[in-house]
Chain A
Amino acid sequence: MIPPSFDYVAPKTLSEAVAVLGQNENAKVLAGGQSLIPLMRFRLAGPTLLVDLNRVEGLSYIKEDDGKLKIGAMTRQSAVEHSELVSTKYPLLADTVKVLSDPVVRNLGTVGGNVANADPVNDEPATMLAYEAEVVAMGPNGERVIPITSFYLDLYQSALARDEILTEVRVPMPKRRSGGAYLKLERKVGDYATAAVAAQVELDEGGNFASVGIGLTNVGLTALKATAAEDFLRGKAATDDNIRGAAKLAAEAAQPIADSRGSEEYKRSLVKTYTVRALRMAIQRAKGG
């Protein structure tokens, strides 16, 4: 299917992109295009102007700086997948990109797009919620930093203003005795998650949870942060009983709807099981295993 007509510009700089975005109420940013172009072909999105970021220099990088892993918005998922830094120090993110869509799509799909799209089916939002990441947004009045915990407002709605562009995602550098994992059930490679769970933990010297982040994919109108489960675990021993208690709370936090991927009950049960497994894996990795 061919999309309806639209105008297209490919600015060379971020400030040009922000300016042109501000001039057209019905403009949309084109990053990797792997969600947006299909949506336009199905007439589910109908922007009259696409502002293509692919020709803007300097938006593709993965680096550690100032206690954060900084990922440029136009960094391709395949670059994250093949990053030595990510695979050695950020196992939760490494797990996530391996199961995000399929390898050919990951060659174009971007981190910025996955995060900014505010679609609950995307995988990186839950991961960023578990990491308590931040995003950087550039608008006509300059840059601002938005905590991911206040970024997702509703289905396809983020805290980005209409004339703002997400330029960077910042993941806190993991402290000692930290680990994470992402577990996703998908019917086939490239499918959205039936449900998926992102877990990031830090243990203290005594083996108790110093910090816990749990994010849920595709069981609500936005990616969800299972805060009750996180609160329950903080300060407690990393035992299986406690993990099971937290998983029950995570399943209660999920708001799945029945669809071709399964019933509400099934998905809730899946969240519970995957929360247990993701936490166990995260703990194992935090202990260096």
Chain B
Amino acid sequence: MSRHHISVTINGKIHAADVESRLLLVHFLRENLNMTGTHIGCDTTSCGACTVQMNGTPVKSCTVLAVQADGMEVKTIEGLAQNGNLHPIQEAFHEKHGLQCGFCTPGMMMTSSALLERNPHPTEDEIRHAISGNLCRCTGYMNIVKAIQYAADNMAEGV
């Protein structure tokens, strides 16, 4: 069946490839490009572990075709740290113990960093609402919410 030449900017770097129509974005990232930071959790568009940002918006990469990302800017967990410095959201998850097993963490960070771009001072309700499409089975969300609040405070102060 049809193959397509695509060119996707991932974390600032252009990646060109020939892909089948049916290749999912998450498989393109993990298997073609070996970027395994993006996780596959439920495979049913429920858990959000595979969340990446496409043109700045969090999307579930198990429910996007790789060919749909042609010409788009994709940001994955690998693109959060800059020049060896953790992104404030990564720093915050570390500081506030926002993870245990770490499986949901890449998706949590891609969703919450996009939230803070759009809304730098979210209330607790807004945070809980924003991450309600990302499931965590370890933490009960308490420390994830605290981490996002901590990152918001630090980003506001320019730390």
Contacts and interface: CB of A to CB of B under 8 A. Distances in A.
A41 B21 CA distance: 13
Contacts of A264: none
A102 B132 contact: yes
A185 interface: no
Given A33-B64, A37-B65, A104 B58 contact: yes
- For A1, A2, A78, A190, the residue with the greatest tally of chain B CB atoms inside 10 Å of its CB is A190
Contacts of B45: 34, 37-38, 105
Interface residues on B, range: 20 to 34
Nearest to A104: B133
Nearest to B134: A104
Majority secondary structure of chain A interface residues (helix, strand, loop or mixed): loop
Given A8-B65, A38-B45, A190 B24 contact: no
Interface string A73-109: 0000010000000000000000000000111110110
B153 to A, nearest CB: 22
B65 A33 contact: yes
B21 A5 contact: yes
A1 B43 contact: yes
Contacts of B139: none
B31 to A, nearest CB: 10
A41 B42 CA distance: 12
A103 B22 contact: no
Nearest to A54: B68
A23 to B, nearest CB: 14
A270 to B, nearest CB: 22
B87 to A, nearest CB: 19
B22 A104 contact: no
Contacts of A6: 1-2, 21-22
A249 B20 CA distance: 52
B48 A102 contact: yes
Interface in A14-42: 33-34, 37-38, 40-41
B44 interface: yes
Contacts of B1: 5-7
B111 interface: yes
B43 A108 contact: no
Interface string B35-51: 00000000111101001
A37 B133 contact: no
B60 interface: yes
Contacts of B97: none
A8 B67 contact: yes
A7 B58 contact: no
Contacts of A189: 132-133
A50 interface: yes
A4 interface: yes
A2 B24 contact: yes
B21 A8 contact: yes
Contacts of A52: 68
A103 B64 contact: no
A9 to B, nearest CB: 8
Given A52-B68, A108-B59, A108-B63, 7 more contacts: A6-B21, A8-B4, A103-B133, A105-B63, A107-B57, A107-B59, A190-B46
19 contacts: A5-B1, A6-B2, A7-B1, A8-B2, A8-B4, A8-B21, A8-B65, A33-B65, A34-B63, A38-B44, A50-B65, A103-B131, A104-B59, A105-B45, A105-B60, A108-B59, A189-B133, A190-B132, A190-B133
